[in-house]
Amino acid sequence: MELGFVSGVGVGGWRHGRVDVKRGKRGMGWVGSGVRILRCVVTDPTVSKGDRARETSVGADREVVQWYRLVEPESLLAARVAERFGVDDFKILREDCYNVQLSESGSAEDEAVLGWLLAETFEPDRLGRKTALEEDSDSFIVEVGPRLNFQTAWSANAVSICQACGLRQVNRLERSRRYKVSGLKPQDTEDLQTAFAELVHDRMTEQVYQAPLHSFDSGMTPEPTVEIPVLEEGRTALEKVNTEQGLGFDDWDMDYYLKLFTDLGRDPTNVELFDMAQSNSEHSRHWFFKGKLVIDGKPIEDSLFGIVRDTLKANPNNSVIAFADNSSTIRGGTISKLQPAEPGKPSEYGVVERDMDVLFTAETHNFPSGVAPFPGAETGSGGRIRDTAATGTGSLTIAGTAGYSVGNLQLPGYSLPWEDSSFGYPSNLASPLQIAIDASNGASDYGNKFGEPLINGYMRSYGIRAADGERREY
């Protein structure tokens, strides 16, 4: 399948023209006049392009089929490899592998449609059914991708697009990354592959694929649900499961749940306790921020949240919404705006005067962005956009800002006098440099997809050893 776009530019600025949609057996065609004309031409796939040659059917001999696309390696990867292994002369190639799970075999035309979707519009010839990376005596290949036990959001979107194009047999589509590394010659190749894999994947959400996928079955069997003997052992049972499962219960939590299940007259399951640990966490319920404080045996009159809200009581000024909705708003004024003559129906736009307030909100996604910077910051932007849309009777998305406060960047090959190379960082979190790059990309990526520009922000890097020996760092 080939896709051709024809565009034309009119003279004298943008102008709108007629657009007719024609449907045929093999696709749709757009014919119009105006500044930009798009025509989609759909033809049968060819069999003379080597790696793009088609098979007689899709997925006839296996549950998961692969498509490959050559791409450029991530920025700074070469510098990270040079620093990690102490070498300068090496080569890294990368290709993305699309692992497509099919519920049944498809036709040659189905394969053509799938290939067209995966080829994208930029350099479609880089896509093929065979890998372009072959291992040899001077190289090794590492493949990493999403964990198999859950479907990624990317896959859910890809499957939705495939099914909208008639590929109903596609029920999962995951993208993995394959790296071919040449020029590194340590004594133990297996150790080298393990060390390289650590550089290129997030072990919290991804895994190393030892061989091409033939199934998304992870082989994992869910553990059985068990009851925690609270009625028999009392608080001791809660303390034990809290320690073993890392539930994060404090003394108040355990007293509360002990009374709860004693009153119910039954034992809780481990699933229930894990669920309550998440849903009743400070992130979700603000027990601590909104709760009563007792310091040195003396109760404090107001909560931390109440202290913050007192500022509004003292100086309400132009505040319209505060501490009462998903976002806050301040008094705006009358503005001129474009609005349809008949909202909700096709109609012409006109300029109208409307009274509108200014909305502002913030979303902190510190821990998610520390564990997985790109998706952590990406969903942070999404949550903030959701909050603005849910304020009052709705709002208009205008623009976003983002801020990043991280530790010393430790740029490869660019040491700075105030940075201490002996500083260690938690193994379960990304490095400051990775957060600075990937979190920034994630926040912008979500805004670009939604249609919200990221127009402002800040970036701070800070980390020192104080005179008293204390380490201070973002």
Whose tokens are 């005179």? That residue is 467
Burial 107-145 (b: 16+ CB within 10 A, else e): eeebbbbbbbbbbeeeebebbbbebebeeeeebbbbbbb
Look at the domain 362-474 and name its fold: 60s Ribosomal Protein L30; Chain: A; (3.30.1330)
**How far apart, in whole angstroms, are the C-alpha atoms of residue 256 and residue 254?**
5
Domain ranges of the chain: 1-43, 50-209, 230-280, 316-360, 362-474
Q: Report pTM.
A: 0.64
- Burial bucket for residue 190 (CB in 10 Å: 0-12, 13-18, 19+): exposed
Give the whole-angstrom CA distance, residue 404 versus residue 448: 19
Q: What is the residue-level pLDDT of the chain in tens, covering all 474 positions?
A: 223 323 222 222 232 333 333 333 333 333 333 333 222 333 333 333 333 333 333 333 457 999 999 988 876 788 778 877 777 788 899 999 999 999 888 888 999 999 999 997 788 889 999 999 988 888 899 999 999 988 998 999 999 999 999 999 999 999 999 999 988 765 556 688 888 888 888 887 899 999 999 999 888 888 899 999 999 999 999 999 999 988 989 898 899 999 999 999 999 999 999 999 888 877 777 777 888 888 888 988 888 888 888 888 888 889 988 888 788 899 999 999 999 999 889 999 999 999 999 998 888 888 889 988 998 999 999 999 999 888 888 888 899 999 999 999 998 888 899 898 889 888 788 899 999 999 999 999 999 989 999 999 999 999 999 999 899 998
DSSP state, 124?
A: G
Q: Do residues 162 and 170 touch, judged by C-beta distance below 8 A?
A: yes
Per the CB < 8 A criterion, the answer to whether 325 and 392 are in contact is yes
Six token digits for residue 450: 């939604």
Supply the DSSP string of 260-310, one letter for each residue: HHHHHTSPPBHHHHHHHHHHTSHHHH-HHHHS--EETTEE-SS-HHHHHHH
Q: Please name the residue that has the structure tokens 């059917």.
A: 57
Cα–Cα distance for residue pair 130/67, rounded to 1 Å = 7
The dotted CATH code for 230-280 is 1.10.8.750
Beta bridge partners of residue 24, listed in sequence order = 27
Rg, C-alpha atoms of the chain: 28
Cα 128 to the chain's mean position, in Å? 26
pLDDT of residue 161: 95
Cα separation of 283 and 248, whole Å? 13
